Structure 1
Amino acid sequence: MRVECFDSDIGSAACENMLPVRLFAQPPRDGWASCGQNIAHRISVERLDVPTAAKDFLRLSMGVIAADRGVLRTKSQNNWNRRIELVVPVEDPTLWNNCAAKVEAMLQFLSGDLWSVQFKATHGQIGRDDDKRRYPDSNEVSLLSGGADSLVGALDLAARKATWLAVSQTSSETKVQRNFAEIASAAEHFPWTHGVNIPYKADGTERARSMGFFGLAVVAATSTRAYHQQESVRIHGSENGLISLNPPLTDARIGSASTRTTHPAFITQLQDLLHSVGLNVELKNEYQYKTKGEMFSECLSPKLLRSVVQDSMSCGKSGRINMHCGRCVPCIIRRSAFHASGIQDLTKYQNNPTGGSSDFWESDDVRCAVLGSGRYSDTAWLKCSMMPSLAKADGIDRAALIDVASRGLREVHNYLSSVYP
């Protein structure tokens, strides 16, 4: 399916097998999608001086978000892998078309789809066209989702006295995100939203949503005073090693069924793309070699973590039920981290392993977690399931990654064993 993005509504209309997307504005008429209006507005309101390449990367990330939501997996030949033809307007189409192959390979790894990406000249502008500019005094940016891992990352930045800027994709966790930014002493907090709007029931898998988060982070990082003084600005994506790697718990889960926001291969590809278009930012996951339980235990502000961690949201289904389901894989890893660290888990879960109900143990995720975590010491199995996805990752210790996956699965195994009826 073709998804073409526009900065105006001239010369296009909805037609069969084509979705027109209006970037940074409301859809002009029926049949159009839209994405990014809030972000463009906030860039202007905040008076941010964003480099051309960063604005073009934002355009790309918004186009990817719209395509990921607008192209339905149910209409693909196998009900999963899609063919997506994406056209994005940018200020420097020559530069970006020279990088199109890198973009396509990166997106294919991220979402499991076949992407064809083309860039055309933009006719629109993002930000103010006057000289009234403001430069945030931060030299580090951190993605603050409202989850427990991003909370630990924020608290550790505060404990190290970093001058950092928090970036959030607003959701039902907006209040929590704002509170975490405040208690972790963020110099500023940008709670932005991509605001994607699809003119029909959108696809719910959202495997490429990470691009939206990084699009916001790159805008924030490149608007800082440090960046405009030719310094490299670090962007932190804090996530424990097990979730980052997302090893398949069973053979049936091999493939693109898991998100890969901080997977080393994706980060390698994204970092290469950003450098190729001249953006001097560094992507970093400080916790790539730590389990979630280790993140809890080794947090530099243990008392503060214990007082607020129950407010964090880890559930993969929270948007639908507005609480932790208690039995999806992220919830199980969360519960395992509390168990491993000895921190009391005050989270309210919809489903629990005890109490007489069989709903928890009958969950497919729980069954897969039982099977997969039981093989935590099977190094050969871990290597076989993980190594193919790590082949193109740079600057990593593959043996250490296998080890952190093993330790993470052991945390899950120990937790599930402790509550098995």
Structure 2
Amino acid sequence: MRHHNIIARLGPSDTGKIEMSSPNTYTTDIQFIANSGLCFGLSNVLRQLRELGLRPSETSVDLVLLAAAITAADTRISRAADAQDAWTRKIDIHVPVQDPERWITQGSLINKMLRFLTGDRWHIHFRPRPPEVGTLAAPPSILPLATPSSVCLFSGGLDSFIGAIDLIASGESPILVSHYGDNLTPGYQDHCAHVLKQHYHSKTIHRIQARVIFPTNTIAARFVENSQRGRSFLFFALASLTADAIGNDMTVYVPENGLISLNVPLDRLRLGALSTRTTHPYYMARFDELLSGLGLRIRLVNPYAFLTKGQMAKACADLPFLQREAKYTMSCSSPGGRRYDPDPRQRDPKHCGRCVPCLIRRAAILEAWGVDDTPYRIPDLRGQILNTKMAEGEHVRSFQFLLSRLIRKPSRARLDILRPGPLTDHLDKLASYEAVYLAGMQEVGRLLEGVVARPL
């Protein structure tokens, strides 16, 4: 195991010596200011807010700076190369902030949140910004152009598209906040935003689109990391920055179906952070706790925590519109997975059709309106025997095993929902979490009736 220290620097004057918690450590300085502006896509986010006449507080800017440093560590420190057990990394992050005392009181909470989210051992350290830096969010030169009532995460996926439709149809005026790190995702986000603006042409719909990424050589290593378990810290921080810039008491909507939000591991070996916890209720409650501790008047809400994806789709406030545009949303975990295929016809990005998000999506669309015209690499799950030794059948078989265990013993559901993490903040809603888990699994079960998956 190699211990890492990531030191966020703000400008050429930020050269102070940092006290290390471990004598044997690998230290990386990351310069976040160049040409008088923040790097790695952060200045672009602030510019978009400024062009709407909005200015966030320095506290929420510091939150995004922290999130960016965490993202650099999470995506550029290899689990395979730098973790003794090929998973758990030891990472210290050092961040300059405007009000260190405020942040230091939240340090243990942030460490706990990140440990839950990624499975790594994090220690976050705060120090004062260099005096020369001053404020990072420049004041806008215009009066506010946007008077949004809320913020909504907008990934380009089916759930977030439904979330945006439902909010706009209910009379809300949300700012949509997107993030992307690849070259495929923005096309789906742009299309979904475009058709929303066309369809609801009488409404003013604003969007903030961020791309916070780091070069592969940011941290000297043989490998980068693809697991990205910490990505929702960045997503929530960007949404909170936007909400803070709007002002007043703001709600950030996180549209995610209840089955994916709980994300009960299909495989008995995939416990804890080995399965993603991006919108798990425990993690969202801790992020709310952090926002409150920082004095930010923002709360996160998942309005679909107790609905399956199929129930979300069926109850959408504008079902004909959703039916027409659903195939242009992206739910797949690896749409570009065949980009190096020898057959050029297979290289185009599309839903794989067999990963966990694709299977839940297919089940939901069939549940909601019976016909799915999304192009999948595996168009017909019943058209062949799926090899469980390969990706085509791995998750199908895992779903089938878990479904068979639930059929044999339905009562195990009340324990299954606790496997990804505690639900201690929602003890009065355990029955609702159990119900959405069972209903979501049954949706997938109906999709997989007659599908054969076995080792070949």
Question: TM (normalized to structure 1)?
Answer: 0.90
- In the alignment, which residue of structure 2 is the partner of 1:211? 233
- In the alignment, which residue of structure 1 is the partner of 2:209? 191
Partners of 1:213 and 1:395 in 2: CA distance: 27
The number of aligned residues is 410
Q: Is the 8 A contact 2:53 2:146 kept in 1?
A: no
- In the alignment, which residue of structure 2 is the partner of 1:381? 412
SS across alignment from 1:288: coil
What amino acid is aligned across from residue 83 of structure 2 in structure 1?
S
**Equivalent of 2:60 in 51, 54, 63:** 54
- In the alignment, which residue of structure 2 is the partner of 1:102? 109
**Equivalent of 2:5 in 2, 5, 13:** 2
What amino acid is aligned across from residue 449 of structure 2 in structure 1?
S
CA deviations on 1:307-326 (whole Å, 9 max, x unpaired) are 00011111111254432111
CA spacing shift, 1:129–1:305, aligned 2, 3 Å: closer
Q: Confirm whether residue 222 of structure 1 aligns to residue 244 of structure 2.
A: yes
Partners of 1:151 and 1:396 in 2: CA distance: 29
Q: Which deviates further from its counterpart, 66-75 or 360-369?
A: 360-369
Partners of 1:390 and 1:18 in 2: CA distance: 34
- In the alignment, which residue of structure 1 is the partner of 2:383? 355
Q: Is the 8 A contact 1:327 1:360 kept in 2?
A: no
Structure 1 residue runs of 5 or longer lacking an equivalent are none
Q: Is the 8 A contact 1:323 1:349 kept in 2?
A: yes
Partners of 2:30 and 2:428 in 1: CA distance: 38
Partners of 1:102 and 1:16 in 2: CA distance: 24
Structure 2 residue runs of 5 or longer lacking an equivalent are 18-23, 339-348
CA spacing shift, 1:24–1:34, aligned 2, 3 Å: same
Q: Confirm whether residue 67 of structure 1 aligns to residue 73 of structure 2.
A: yes
- In the alignment, which residue of structure 2 is the partner of 1:335? 362
Q: Confirm whether residue 173 of structure 1 aligns to residue 185 of structure 2.
A: yes
Alignment of 1:272-287 (within 5 A): 272-287=289-304
Q: Confirm whether residue 148 of structure 1 aligns to residue 158 of structure 2.
A: yes
**C-alpha displacement of 1:299:** 0.7
Partners of 1:113 and 1:328 in 2: CA distance: 25
**C-alpha displacement of 1:127:** 2.3
What amino acid is aligned across from residue 31 of structure 2 in structure 1?
R
Q: Is the 8 A contact 1:34 1:66 kept in 2?
A: no
CA deviations on 1:110-157 (whole Å, 9 max, x unpaired) are 111111111111233422157656362101110000000001101111
CA deviations on 1:220-279 (whole Å, 9 max, x unpaired) are 11111xx2xxx3111001000000000011212212122222110001000000011100
Work out which of the two has the higher radius of gyration on C-alpha atoms and give 1 or 2. Answer: 2
- In the alignment, which residue of structure 2 is the partner of 1:372? 402
Q: Is the 8 A contact 2:413 2:434 kept in 1?
A: yes
Q: Is the 8 A contact 2:88 2:120 kept in 1?
A: yes
Question: TM (normalized to structure 2)?
Answer: 0.83
- In the alignment, which residue of structure 2 is the partner of 1:78? 85
**C-alpha displacement of 1:92:** 0.8
SS across alignment from 2:6: strand
Q: Confirm whether residue 127 of structure 1 aligns to residue 134 of structure 2.
A: no
**Equivalent of 2:440 in 405, 408, 421:** 408
**Equivalent of 2:430 in 385, 398, 401:** 398
CA spacing shift, 1:38–1:274, aligned 2, 3 Å: same
Q: Is the 8 A contact 2:158 2:330 kept in 1?
A: yes
Q: Which deviates further from its counterpart, 180-189 or 410-419?
A: 180-189
Partners of 2:51 and 2:71 in 1: CA distance: 23
Partners of 2:447 and 2:354 in 1: CA distance: 13
CA deviations on 1:335-381 (whole Å, 9 max, x unpaired) are 11122223421111123423346357853222111111333454432
Query: Cα RMSD (Å) of the superposition?
Result: 2.5
**Equivalent of 2:100 in 93, 105, 119:** 93
Partners of 1:396 and 1:247 in 2: CA distance: 19
